[in-house]
Amino acid sequence: MSEVQVRGTIAVFAKCPIAGSSKTRLSSLLGEDGAADLAKAMLSDILCNISNYDKFNTSKKVLVYAPGTEEGQNMMENILADIGLSGISVRDLNGNNAISEKSINNWILMPMVGSSKTKGSDGKKSDLQSSDLGSKLSNALERIRSIDEEVPVTFLGMDSPELPLDEIYNAMKIAIEMEKAYINPAHDGGYGALCVPKKAPIDIFENVRWSTSLTFASQLKALTDNGIDTVVGSLMSDIDEEEDVIALASRTQRSGPKPLEETKEINDRLLYQSHVCGSSSVVSAKNRSICPRTVNILQRKHILPIQKIEEK
């Protein structure tokens, strides 16, 4: 497989970073405003790193946002503008083009549908809630395929700023050339990235146990139940709890983000789950992308010493 640009779609699922509703479990460490600032910084780093990765230039990029309101759209447009990304195409809930501008770093903004909180532009409620995350992902997959149904789709969250870009690229090639899915488990039992081939049905998100230690395992089973072979990739780290922030600061302080140390216990668990669910073996961890905006927030909140970062 030659190292060339890959054609696919990358979909980032994101909740608008609003004080008091973003990363609330980090409020005691960072304060409500600080927690929202960290959420915005992580999302900004993810969007920027995806946009600046040359091998993704021919891939479509979709930001699926909640709440799916005009306010939510404006906030996401401002975040993209703040990091120098212009030429935004905004699509409505049916995937129809509402505003079209062209740019090398073009992002499509797509409102998320269905939720238990704020009503979106379709009159339905729209937010990131674990109870119906599967239906949100299925809906997004269907709408994304209305844009281009002949390419794999990679789903990413906004909680893992240390993206394994080379691995995501390889995952898309595996989806194209081998028609297999590729999943990156998270240390908390969830997963940080999922790439699905074009043949994967939208039913792959049914019966997944969201926001539990069994999310990764149940997603593997759902893929297998739908006839999709899966490769298990390296471990990713979600930033949800205070200890996650401290660990991120520690990794960043050691000359930039480092691969997570995959302990024997974790490897044994992943290998067992992948064997049970019929997937390929675990792939070794790779270097993660840099996340300067996230580092800046950690410095400002005195989680990370400024001097030590500046000396590198």
**Cα–chain center distance at 213:** 18
Q: What is the pLDDT of residue 308?
A: 43
Q: Among 169, 218, 245, which residue's Cα sits nearest to residue 8?
A: 169
Q: What is the pLDDT of residue 91?
A: 79
Domain ranges of the chain: 9-303
**Cα–chain center distance at 95:** 20
* Percentage with pLDDT > 70 across the chain: 76
* Cβ–Cβ < 8 Å for 78, 127: no
Residue 29 has pLDDT above 90, yes or no: yes
Buried b (16+ CB within 10 A) or exposed e, 86-115: eebbbbebebeeeeeeeeebbbbbbbbbbb
Burial of 201 (0-12, 13-18, 19+ CB in 10 A): middle
For domain 9-303, give the CATH number.
3.90.550.10
Confidence of residue 85 (pLDDT cuts 50, 70, 90): confident
Confidence of residue 118 (pLDDT cuts 50, 70, 90): very low
What is the three-class DSSP state of 196?
Answer: strand
Token pair of 291, please? 């996340």
Average pLDDT over residues 134-162: 94
84 or 230, which is more confident? 230
pTM value surpassing 0.85: no
Query: What are the CB-based long-range contacts (under 8 Å, 24+) for 250-257?
Result: 251/162, 252/291, 252/294, 252/295, 252/298, 252/304, 252/309, 253/304, 253/305, 253/308, 253/309, 255/312, 256/290, 256/312, 257/162, 257/287, 257/288, 257/289, 257/290, 257/291
Residue 163 has pLDDT above 90, yes or no: yes
Q: What is the pLDDT of residue 88?
A: 72
DSSP string, 56-123: GTTSEEEEEEES-SHHHHHHHHHHHHHTT---PEEE-TT--EEE----TT--EEEE----SSSB-TTS
285 or 109, which is more confident? 109
Average pLDDT over residues 94-119: 64
- In the block, residue with structure tokens 């999310």: 215
Residue 137 has pLDDT above 90, yes or no: yes
Q: What is the pLDDT of residue 125?
A: 42
Spatial distance between the Cα atoms of 6 and 50, rounded to a whole number of angstroms: 13
* Cβ–Cβ < 8 Å for 290, 49: yes
The model's pLDDT over 185-237, given as tens digits with 9 standing for 90+, comes to 999 899 999 999 999 999 999 999 998 999 999 999 999 999 999 999 999 99
Q: What is the pLDDT of residue 254?
A: 66
Task: Report cis status (omega within 30 of 0) of the bond before 67.
Answer: yes
Average pLDDT over residues 62-71: 93
Spatial distance between the Cα atoms of 272 and 254, rounded to a whole number of angstroms: 32
